[in-house]
Amino acid sequence: MNNARPLIPSPLRSGALFGLLMLGLTACASKVDSPTTYMLPTTVPEQQYSTTLGLAIAPVSISSYLDNEGIVMELNDIEVYQARQHLWAEDIGKQLQQQLQQQLAASLPRAQVVLKGQTLQSNMPQREVRVSVSRFQGSYDGSAIAQGQWQLLDAKGQLLKQQSFKLEQPLTRDGYPTLVRALGAAWDKVASELATAVALASEQER
């Protein structure tokens, strides 16, 4: 098949990522017609906060190379591979936004957490969360990585807090399902850190 990858660099041959790549290449070589599609898993946050506010989650900004159907993996420190038979079932930027909204709503049960554009109650402080993602992929060292930056803004659009993040989740076995679950776990950690920051910022303003 003319789109098969060249020989995989030797450092990957014994790692979990090599197994992931072989799954993709084997599917390509065998001309599988129907790709497998994935959604990020949903989990329950471990920590809850009593913060009362209205929180709007803006659409998540993602790097252009992530803005496609194929799940992305790093081959080494400069090469990335986009799977052709293992795809996101829904736009990954939208999935990240929805998961963030769900996780923050569960972590902040007294808050009204909505997607930006939806109506917020006017009788409570209002905030907006903006997140940009530069990496959301499998790493050649055998882990899943979520990396980027988030911002917390007030009702007037003034920046209250800004922080970079890089969360890594080790892969426990080979396979795309394992990678997707690890990416979901890494994103849950991002949401957990953000919930803590939102609650802390709200307490400091009282």
Domains of the chain, CATH where assigned: 10-204 (3.40.50.10610)
Q: In whole angstroms, how large is the CA radius of gyration of the chain?
A: 19
| Nearby residues of 59 by Cβ (< 8 Å), 6 or more positions away | 93, 94, 97, 116
Q: Residue 107: what residue type? A: S
Q: Report the share of the chain in percent with pLDDT over 90.
A: 75
Sign of CA dihedral 130, 194, 57, 147: positive
- What's this model's pTM, rounded to 2 decimal places? 0.84
- The tokens for 41 are 């898993």
Tell me: the pLDDT tens digits for 2-55? 443 433 333 333 455 555 555 554 444 445 579 999 999 999 998 999 999 999
Residue 125 CB coordination number (10 Å): 16
Tell me: the pLDDT tens digits for 109-151? 999 999 999 999 888 999 999 999 999 999 999 999 999 999 9
Residue in this structure with the two tokens 């003034």, named with its chain if needed: 158
Q: Say how far apart CA 182 and CA 74 lie, in whole Å.
A: 15
